[in-house]
Structure 1
Amino acid sequence: MELILWIIAVVLVGAGVFALFRHQILWGIVLIVGGLLVGPGGVNAIS
């Protein structure tokens, strides 16, 4: 399960960075924050 969350986090952050390069600032920030929450050290690490 932890590996799946890592993969999801990497995809979200990657999509966020790609959105930033396409000048979609708000959507990019939302994706990056979502990836950080899902990934290591995010909300999952608390529980």
Structure 2
Amino acid sequence: MAGNDDKTRQRAYELWEQSGKKGSEMDFWLQAEKEIADRDSAPVPPQDRLE
């Protein structure tokens, strides 16, 4: 899934920058994957219906 790889790459880069550009790239990648998976599996709140 190229789309997820792009999202993961972008998030991992953000995490790396936030860390002061120090740390393990694998740790950032795994954290980014987890965050994205958690976000994608979170239930979507119901929308207010206008009637």
Q: TM-score, normalised by structure 1?
A: 0.48
**Which structure is higher in RCO with an 8 Å CA cutoff and minimum separation 6?**
1
**1 or 2, which has the higher helix percentage?**
1
The structure having more radius of gyration, on CA atoms, is 2
Report the TM-score, using the length of structure 2 for normalisation: 0.45
